Chain A
Amino acid sequence: MIRAICLREAIAEFVHDGDSIALEGFSHLIPFAAGHEIIRQQRRNLTLIRLTPDIIYDQLIGMGCAQRLVFSWAGNPGVGLLHRFREAVEKGWPGKLVLEVHTHGSLAAAYVAGAARLPFGTMRGDPDTDLVKRVSTVSAVECPFTGEKLAAVRAINPDVAIIHAQRADKQGNVQLWGILGVQKEAVYAASRVIVTVEEICEKFDPVANGMVIPSWIVSATVVAPGGARPSYTHGYYRRDNAFYQQWDSIARDRGRFMSWMEQNVLEYVAV
């Protein structure tokens, strides 16, 4: 049976200072509610992992939760740059942020290797770029069968993976569909897994492009309706594009960012 636990308890129990955590969701199903609870509980020195750091990571970085960022594309999709991320990298505010820069391909391969508990993933022809010079987790390896030189990327095994999904059943199995990014790989690569869901249902109906994550892989399933807003949950609510645009001016100014966070995240009590 699903264990009744609230988001506050789940974050308190499973996310610790200094952990490496992956909040995944490729523009869809981004676990905002869980990220906000991490900010409220003032976790520090986190290694944040994510292919596409966007608003939720901008908030975690701006609120001083992150020490290190492992990523491949950090921006506000369809809008522009991330100003809290920029200020951390360009000016070291609110603290120094160590970057591990990847490409989508290398980070995806690192999760796949992590999920399989292999030491590294391989890619063909990772080109000779400045990226490769800046990251110690990408190297070269020779194919033992053909002698071909391949790129190797060290596996990623986050302490905690956090995802948002459409629903769970009463046993705690999780069903998600639509654009699924690297959620499955992040979940299987991690030591602990928190899933927030829109609702609990009696029985799963089949859906196109559906995926099920079994209950015994998951440390905590938390009901958090709207937990992906302002991103979207396919079949439940739309992406709040206007907010993504507003975020550009909110995050541009340090003071405005802090007061927005106080009013909209810190003073809010999680369910």
Chain B
Amino acid sequence: MSQDLNYTSEEMMTITAARRFRDNATCFVGVGWPSTAACLAHLLYAPEAILVYESGAIGSRPQVSPLSIADPELADTAVFIATVPEVFSHWLQGGRIDIGFLGAAQIDRSGNINSTVIGDYGIPKVRMPGAGGAPHIAAHAKEIVVIVRQHPKAFVSRLDFLTTARCKGPTTVITDLGILATHPTSGELILTSRHPGVSVEQIRESTGWPLISADRVEETAAPSDAEVLALRELNDSTQRAHDVKLHAA
């Protein structure tokens, strides 16, 4: 592991998430960081991971990260395209998803997620997009990986709104500071790994509840130069692909 490149905490987070994809696992992928991590995983670690998108694209091999969940890139590279009702009935409810990758605005110590409102539901401070597919992804995937920046406003003792109930299987939360995972008996999210250069204390201060550490907190493997370069190249080509305009608005 060389550390010649000064990687950012966001790159650390994305690379750590990408390492979670497995060959032949069906991976349900949301937009944003999960999508970038999925592309990187296909390039570096799990070329045979089966990517499933809620737009119905199944088995896609996107070369650039999609800007929306229904980008033509996902349709063009899919093995086939299901309808949205089929995605939720045949695929999620049918138990055909191994790992679901999600984002979150707020998460609590049990792994419940809020993506609906900040503030009071009736007169919200910020009205956010809402549930989308997340509640059924968490309900039916065998395990969940949540990718979210760690700060006290996101890691809260009490959610403003419970949009997505915790997964019955294991939840792993990958942040820009470390990795949290559900404790097998208590079911609470505990700190299992800290990223290089980050202290346990710093992670505790960035968490809105008294975060418990595992008996042994690992240090996450630092990104290799190859990982960092692959991610930057992916981000560059994604940027170029989405900037190309063949027509006026």
Contacts and interface: CB of A to CB of B under 8 A. Distances in A.
Interface in A96-141: 101-105, 108-109, 111-112, 123-131, 134
Given A129-B162, A243-B249, A179 B136 contact: no
B31 A78 contact: yes
Nearest to B68: A77
A86 B66 CA distance: 25
Nearest to A181: B84
Interface in B18-72: 31-32, 54-57, 66-72
A74 B117 CA distance: 12
Nearest to B138: A127
B217 to A, nearest CB: 31
20 contacts: A26-B84, A28-B55, A72-B131, A73-B132, A75-B130, A77-B31, A77-B69, A81-B128, A101-B130, A103-B131, A104-B136, A123-B93, A127-B164, A127-B165, A129-B162, A130-B161, A179-B56, A238-B72, A243-B249, A244-B68
A230 B249 contact: yes
A90 interface: yes
Contacts of A180: 56, 81, 83
B233 to A, nearest CB: 20
B153 interface: no
A132 to B, nearest CB: 9
A239 B72 contact: yes
A246 B127 CA distance: 20
B116 A108 contact: no
Interface in B110-160: 116, 121, 123-136, 138-140
Interface string A196-213: 000000000000010000
Nearest to A52: B132
A184 interface: yes
B246 interface: yes
Contact of B249 (A86, A131, A182, A229): A229
Given A90-B125, A103-B135, 8 more contacts: A27-B69, A74-B130, A78-B32, A90-B127, A124-B140, A125-B139, A131-B116, A229-B249
Contacts of B74: 179
B88 interface: yes
Contacts of B55: 26-28, 179, 181
Contacts of B88: 104-105, 108-109, 123
B132 A129 contact: no
B237 interface: no
Contacts of A102: 131
Interface in B72-89: 72, 74-75, 80-81, 83-85, 88-89
A240 B247 contact: yes
B72 A78 contact: no
Nearest to B168: A125
B123 A131 contact: no
A105 B28 CA distance: 14
B-side interface size class: 35 or more
A70 B132 CA distance: 12
B216 interface: no
Q: Which of B83, B128, B134, B164 has the most CB of A within 10 A?
A: B83
A97 B219 CA distance: 49
Nearest to A78: B67
B83 A129 contact: no
A104 B54 contact: yes
Nearest to A124: B93
A78 B249 CA distance: 18
B83 A184 contact: yes
Interface string A147-170: 000000000000000000000000
B92 interface: yes
A52 B133 CA distance: 11
A146 to B, nearest CB: 15
B127 A86 contact: yes
A179 B85 contact: no
Nearest to A73: B132
Contacts of B80: 209
A185 B85 contact: yes
A237 interface: yes
B232 interface: no
Contacts of B16: none
B247 A179 contact: no
A1 interface: no
A104 B131 contact: yes
Contact of B85 (A72, A73, A112): A112
B134 A240 contact: no
A121 to B, nearest CB: 9
A143 B132 CA distance: 26
Nearest to B161: A130
Nearest to A238: B246
